Amino acid sequence: MNRYFFPAAFSLGAMAVVWVAFGFFAANPLALLMTLVIGAVYGMGALELLKFRRATATLAHALAHIPDELPHLGDWLEKLDPSLQNAVRLRVEGERAGLPGPTLTPYLVGLLVMLGMLGTFLGMVLTLNGAVFALEGTTDLQAMRSSLAAPIKGLGLAFGTSLAGVATSAMLGLISALVRRERLHAGQVLDGKIASVLRSEERR
C-alpha cells in the first residue's frame, strides 16, 4: 500500500507549490521566488526519501531470496545498496547496529515551514511599506482607499508562501514516516533471518 501512498503524498505537496506559484506568477515576483525555493527544497527531500526507499527495497528483495547455501556472507551483502551493507554486516555479526535513516529530510521538514514564514514576513514588510507610502502620499479619503487596495491585496497573496511551506512540510513528513516504517519492517525481517539462515556463527 505504501507504493501508492508515496506518489500520492508527493503529488499533493507538489500541487500545493504549483498552485501557490501560479497565483504569484507575474503578480508578486518575490513571493514567486520564495515559492520556487520551497519547491526546490521539497524536491531535495523527496529525492533523498526515494533513494532511501529504493535502498530498503534491495534489502527486502535480498532477504526474500537468500540461497539455501550461502558460503560467504559478502556474496549476499553485495546485493544490498552500499548504504546498507556495513550496517547489515554488523547486525548479522551480532552488533547492536541500527539501520541508517534519512539524513537531510528531518531538517528539511522544519526548513520548509521556516521558508514559508520568511516569504510571508517579507511580503508583509513590503505591504506595510506600501501602505505607509499610500497614507503619506495623499489626504483625500477616496484616493487613500484606492492607494491602499494594492498593498492589502498583496498582503493576502503573501500568506501563500506559508501555505506552500506548511503543505510541503506536512507531505514530506508523511512520506518520511512511511519510508521509515518500511525500513523498520525490513529490519524486523532481517532479525528473523539472522536467528535462522543468517546466523553469524555459521558465517565466520
The answer, yes or no, to whether residue 83 has pLDDT greater than 70, is: yes
Average pLDDT rounded to a whole number, residues 97-110:
90
**Structure pTM?**
0.81
Q: Is the distance from CB of 162 to CB of 116 less than 8 angstroms?
A: yes
Please say if the pLDDT value at position 113 is more than 70. yes
Residue 78, pLDDT > 90, answer: no
Please report which confidence band the pLDDT of residue 203 belongs to, taking 50, 70 and 90 as the band edges. Answer: very low
| pLDDT tens per residue across span 169-198 | 999 999 999 999 999 999 999 888 887 776
For the chain, give the longest Cα–Cα distance: 91
Question: What's the pLDDT tens digit per position in 145-162?
Answer: 655 555 565 565 567 888
Structure confidence at residue 58 (pLDDT): 94
**Is 90 exceeded by the pLDDT of residue 53?**
yes
Question: What is the rounded average pLDDT of the residues 17-37?
Answer: 84
Q: Average pLDDT, stretch 80-108?
A: 88
Average pLDDT, the chain: 81
Closest CA to 53 of 41, 42, 45: 45
pLDDT value at position 171?
96
CA 146 to chain centre: 42
What pLDDT was estimated at residue 160?
A: 81
Using alpha carbons, select from 40, 12, 3, 35 the residue that is nearest to residue 22.
35
**Could you tell me how far CA 87 lies from the centroid of its own chain?**
24
CA distances (Å), origin 111, targets 19, 116, 157, 186: 20, 9, 21, 29
Cα angle for residues 97, 99, 104 (degrees, 5° grid): 125
**Residue 113 exposed, middle or buried by CB count within 10 Å (0-12, 13-18, 19+):** middle
Sequence-separated (6 or more) residues with CB below 8 Å from residue 126: 30, 154, 158
- Higher pLDDT residue, 162 or 48? 48
Q: Which of 4-8, 57-61, 79-83 has the lowest mean pLDDT?
A: 4-8
Instruction: Identify residue 14 by its one-letter amino acid code.
Output: A
Cα-based distances in Å from 44 to 47, 137, 171:
5, 45, 13
